[in-house]
Amino acid sequence: MEFKQEWLEEVLTARSRAYTPFSHFKVGAYLVTKDGRAFYGCNVENAAYGPTICAERTALVSAIAQGYRPGDFKMIVVATGADKPSSPCGVCRQVMKELCDDDMPVLMTNTAGDVIESTVAELLPNGFSGKDLTND
Amino acid sequence: MEFKQEWLEEVLTARSRAYTPFSHFKVGAYLVTKDGRAFYGCNVENAAYGPTICAERTALVSAIAQGYRPGDFKMIVVATGADKPSSPCGVCRQVMKELCDDDMPVLMTNTAGDVIESTVAELLPNGFSGKDLTND
Amino acid sequence: MEFKQEWLEEVLTARSRAYTPFSHFKVGAYLVTKDGRAFYGCNVENAAYGPTICAERTALVSAIAQGYRPGDFKMIVVATGADKPSSPCGVCRQVMKELCDDDMPVLMTNTAGDVIESTVAELLPNGFSGKDLTND
Amino acid sequence: MEFKQEWLEEVLTARSRAYTPFSHFKVGAYLVTKDGRAFYGCNVENAAYGPTICAERTALVSAIAQGYRPGDFKMIVVATGADKPSSPCGVCRQVMKELCDDDMPVLMTNTAGDVIESTVAELLPNGFSGKDLTND
């Protein structure tokens, strides 16, 4: 998937809204739906650490609250300020597994514009899903 | 705070977007900012349960990603389909503690239009916050 | 409930095991069962912040994995190094609501031995529980 | 790694302690340290879903509270009652990334004794870690 310069601008705008009084590690996400809408996400930290919500999940739940459903998403771009683009954490991979197609592109970038491309399935191989939930 | 009928319509619209394949317990949230904007939230479940995000948090992080900051929020309405309006869970109370004023009204309602009113501080008395974080 | 000096020693031992490379804010928990067994807890942080597990929850799930059930717990002591004893976060209050009696004492202390006493129900008034989960 | 029958008995004992009033999906974990101690884990659910803690994390934080540190773990076995052994969720993969060696074996099994073997790094490729946390 060819990375468009405008995506970098969008995801860095999203990143600028990060609420990170504890880590000062700002992350942005730019989620695009198959019908062409876009949602911003940023990390929102908490003094108790555990309730912290990452940028990828912020973008995804924002879209669900606007009526989008699993399968409606085309791609997500994630940006940090690190020298090498960072990967989503395991929690976000699990949420993407639930809400996104397995082959949905996940594009990781940084303020320098470096890009690494992956997919939901590559990031969470043999992922846990609702299909596993049997009540024996 | 006088409960307006239009808030019930809004929060039930938000609730209709809940993604709840596991509990089938749908929750909606309607967050209003001090400058008059509103954000919808709904619960977004996950097969792994732990990554589930509630309606209140969905609304709050959606607003943060749009540039709102702690202190910008005027009130939140939460709705379930239960006979008695449900209270926010402890995770959401902790996130409200981080992002909302202590005296911000939290209005709990249900499809029948019953209303219970509380505040952030009443729901999380002696709440944990960044002021506790000292590195001794 | 009279606070025993030995509880302070126990909870500070638990606290010494905290894994806190990110916040350097160490918390310990000392959970006692009604049949007289005790479990240590400490906070276990994560680079991704969200998967961080607090001391109170560490102690409680350790006990469940050893066969204890909701209602089996007599009290919990929590200790930080802060000037004023800190309260449990909302996530831990929610987990205590699930696993502990409403009137179970929660004793908050610090390295100086100051003590604040509360209960599960006081910390999470009008708490969310399984009774709220109706599928309308 | 040759799977030993006694590990199946251990992990199923751990699984029998699962607290799963909401999903009825019981999971057990059996964690072994390099110096030969073992810790049980089981999933501990919560009415609010989000505070649910999985079996793998229960075992790991139990060990940390007993003084074990990242790098001290030799292997983990996880068991469900599903027809095909289930994989850990993304949250647990992220916690294993924090606390375990990248090449630590993760053995997935079920009540029928089927076994699938993987490692921490295979389950969370290009995993997010403390090395990513730079404050630009």
Position D106 in a domain: yes
Cβ–Cβ gap D65/C14 under 8 Å? yes
Q: Which among A40, A51, A94 is the nearest to B46, CB-wise?
A: A94
Query: Chain B contacts of A46, Cβ < 8 Å?
Result: 94-95, 98
How many CB pairs lie under 8 A apart between chains A and D? 88
Residues 6 or more apart from B112 whose CB is under 8 A from it?
Answer: B83
- How many whole angstroms separate alpha carbon D37 and alpha carbon D35? 6
**What integer pLDDT is reported at residue A1 of this predicted model?**
83
Q: CA of C47: which chain A residue's CA is closest?
A: A89
Cβ–Cβ gap C81/B136 under 8 Å? yes
Q: CA of C132: which chain B residue's CA is closest?
A: B86
Place of tokens 């909401």: D22
Q: CA of D91: which chain C residue's CA is closest?
A: C51
Structure tokens at D87: 């994989």
pLDDT tens for B31-67 read 999 999 999 999 999 999 999 999 999 999 999 999 9
Sheet bearing A115-119, strands edge to edge = A38-42, A28-33, A73-80, A105-110, A115-119
Q: Band of the pLDDT at C1, cuts 50, 70, 90?
A: confident
The CATH number of the domain where B84 resides is what? 3.40.140.10
Position B118 in a domain: yes
Contact call for residues A18 and A134 (beta carbons, < 8 A):
no
Position A133 in a domain: no
Containing structural domain, residue A51: 5-127
Q: Is D14 on the interface with C (CB under 8 A)?
A: yes
Position D84 in a domain: yes
Whole-number mean pLDDT of chain D? Answer: 97
Q: Is C25 on the interface with B (CB under 8 A)?
A: yes
| Residues D91-110, mean pLDDT to the nearest whole number | 98
Query: Chain D contacts of B48, Cβ < 8 Å?
Result: 52, 54, 89-91
Q: Is C64 on the interface with B (CB under 8 A)?
A: no
The set of chains that have 3 or more CB pairs under 8 A with C is: A, B, D
% of chain B residues with pLDDT over 70: 99
Position C132 in a domain: no
To the nearest whole Å, the CA of A123 is away from the closest chain B CA by 16
Position C51 in a domain: yes
- How many whole angstroms separate alpha carbon A67 and alpha carbon A86? 29
Position A16 in a domain: yes
Strand partners, C28: C42, C79
**What integer pLDDT is reported at residue A134 of this predicted model?**
76
**What integer pLDDT is reported at residue B135 of this predicted model?**
58
- How many whole angstroms separate alpha carbon A97 and alpha carbon C20? 29
| Maximal C-alpha separation, chain A | 50
Position B75 in a domain: yes
- How many whole angstroms separate alpha carbon A46 and alpha carbon B53? 15
pLDDT tens for D15-47 read 999 999 999 999 999 999 999 999 999 999 999
Q: Which among C47, C48, C91 is the nearest to A48, CB-wise?
A: C91
Q: Is B24 on the interface with D (CB under 8 A)?
A: no
HSE-CB for A72 with a 13 A CA cutoff? 17
Residues 6 or more apart from A78 whose CB is under 8 A from it?
Answer: A11, A27, A28, A29, A55, A56, A85, A86, A88, A106, A107, A108, A109
Is C135 annotated to bind a ligand? Reply is no
Q: Is D93 on the interface with A (CB under 8 A)?
A: yes
pLDDT tens for C59-116 read 999 999 999 999 999 999 999 999 999 999 999 999 999 999 999 999 999 999 999 9
Is A77 annotated to bind a ligand? Reply is no
Active-site residue, selected from the candidate residues B6, B9, B10, B56: B56
Structural domain count, chain D? 1
Tens-digit pLDDT string for chain A (136 aa): 899 999 999 999 999 999 999 999 999 999 999 999 999 999 999 999 999 999 999 999 999 999 999 999 999 999 999 999 999 999 999 999 999 999 999 999 999 999 999 999 999 999 999 999 975 5
